Structure 1
Amino acid sequence: MYNAPYHSTLLEKIPSSASTKAAFKEWFKVHKISFEETMSRNELFQIITRNKPEKRYMVDQITERYGHKVLRLPPYHCIFNPIELIWGIAKNYCNGHSNQNCLDLCNEALSKITPSVCVSSIRHVEEEINKW
């Protein structure tokens, strides 16, 4: 998966340095971490930093339930994502036929994406990965 925000929804939201002091305190209570009411925001945030759990994503939990594991692509490396090649084929088709009805054009463009095109795109990406 690439790094779309909806692929990276956390199971548990961890307060950031921009969070309120009240959010810090609520997080401490949920995690049964002691703190002093007189502590500053910086002191509270340091405690969060030291006790921050490993990030767990919702999509990982869903896929693991079905026996799969998510492989995340490195940021800004669309060459490792075959869907980018497939969308490129559809967009190039649309660019060459822009005088048609939009819905008809989209349907025609997507009809060009055959199983063999998908297999070819996946093989191309596998070759790129092997180069790296």
Structure 2
Amino acid sequence: MAPPVVQWNISPSMGQSYKCREGEVVPIPRYCLRVLERLGSCHIGEVIICETEDIELPTDKVAVRTCRGDSLREIRFLSSLQDPNLVSILGVCTGEQPPWLIMEYPAQLGDLVQHLNSTENLT
């Protein structure tokens, strides 16, 4: 069954709503993630690299972003985005506070700035 279409006004100054689908988010127990490294933090949360244990995910390492308690709708929106140029949302840990947003960790891509500086013909 498809998720409901919701209306978001993502740019109030333009006065137009944006139609999007909210995806289902896979719950992942926090005990299945072992913290390897803390990358940093900012106003939206902290970013952590974790290793997965006892759970079937496409990768052994994941990136985790801590979230505010009221961001479940944002997480559902992000999980509905499917594009090869975006990291995928793999799940969410909501059993403990703060909630964790589990994303794929694109370690094989390397440093974006270095890639952009070394590549001449980007399409």
TM range, smaller chain: under 0.3
Q: Which has the higher contact order (CA 8 A, sep 6+)?
A: 1
Q: Give 1 or 2: higher helix fraction.
A: 1
TM-score (norm. length: structure 2): 0.23
Q: Give 1 or 2: higher strand fraction.
A: 2
